[in-house]
Amino acid sequence: MRRRIAAVSVVATVITGIAVAPAAHAEGRGDIRITKTVVNDGRNVIVGVKNIKRFPITMTIKDNSGVKGVSGVSAINASNGHGPVSHLGTTCRKVSATTSVCTATMEINPAWIDSYGSGNEGWNANAVAGIWRADATAHANDGDYWISDYIASFKVKRAATLTTDATPEPVSKGGTLTVTGKLMRANWTDLKYHAFTKQVVKLQYKKPGGSYHTVKTATTDSKGHLRTTVKATASGSWRWAFLGTTTTMKVVSTGDAVTVK
């Protein structure tokens, strides 16, 4: 655990195991700059309850003397400073005499998220989800350096699951089709999936060979369940689609094909 906290807190302060973000700043010496940063190839970082999530932070760095390397690569939640993430290492590729692309590999282990803040009053492991920022210090061959604690923002989201079941199968033409489902999301406190309540979810339909379109919406109940009815007019597939939130991933269920007789 000590190694991980150290990796997170190069540009942060550790207070009883929680990294607290300082005010945003960038300072240094000379003309070296991180000109572009892309986290996880531009995608959200999705963390479930079991699998370790690794993702890259790719930085384009420029200096007139050439780039020596990068240090102090870290990532934390931009609003609360939580950062249960490990920096596994960085590799740099020289693009030209003045430009290099450096890629840092980061890791979030869901099994470690809750223990990261354990012992702190009011600690909620799920508060780790949300908008994060990446930090790094770039070094040039001539001794120039640039410390930046906000080179990019990205989202770390809780994984989600969604199911669909349409009955009866088959259904008579003009009959009533009942479509149910369940929306759940990862809980990093007990490493289980729990019902995601009071969420608006789209019911979508497509004819064979066609594409899905939204028919209506429904809201999950206190147990994450979805239930609605539609009139069966033609054979096709039905599915639920959840657009996601700032802290929970977008998820679409597998389609359930129904034959109309």
Does the 160-258 domain belong in CATH 2.60.40.10? Answer: yes
- The pLDDT value recorded for residue 37 is 98
pLDDT at 229 over 80: yes
pLDDT at 66 over 50: yes
With bands split at pLDDT 50, 70 and 90, how would you rate the model's confidence at 196?
Answer: very high
- Answer for the pair 56, 105: CB distance below 8 angstroms, yes or no: yes
CATH 2.60.40.10 in the chain is located at 160-258
CA distances from 25 to 18, 21, 57, 122, 151 (A): 20, 11, 19, 29, 10
Average pLDDT over residues 105-122: 91
90-103 as b/e: b if 16+ CB within 10 A: bebeeeeebebbbb
DSSP symbols for the chain: -HHHHHHH-TTSEEETTEEE-----EEEESS-EEEEEEEGGGS-EEE-SSS-EEEEEEEEEE-TT-EEEEEEEEEEETTT-----EEEEEEEEE-SSSEEEEEEEEEE-HHHHHHHTTTSTT--GGGG-EEEEEEEEEEETTS-EEEEEEEEEEEEEE-EEEEEEEESSSB-TT-EEEEEEEEEEEETTTTEEEE--S-EEEEEEE-TTS--EEEEEEE--TTSEEEEEEE--S-EEEEEEE---SSB--EEPPPEEE-B-
Residues 6+ apart with CB under 8 A from 209: none
Average pLDDT over residues 110-137: 93
- The pLDDT value recorded for residue 11 is 29
pLDDT at 177 over 80: yes
- The pLDDT value recorded for residue 120 is 80
Average pLDDT over residues 169-175: 96
Which of 18-22, 50-54, 85-89, 254-258 bottoms out in mean pLDDT, i.e. has the lowest?
A: 18-22
For 2-157, the fitting CATH number among 2.40.160, 2.40.50, 2.60.40, 3.40.50 is: 2.60.40
Average pLDDT over residues 146-172: 97
Tens-digit pLDDT profile for residues 3-60: 333 333 332 322 223 333 344 456 889 999 999 999 999 999 999 999 999 999 999 9
Distance CA 148, CA 76 (A): 13
Average pLDDT over residues 177-200: 98
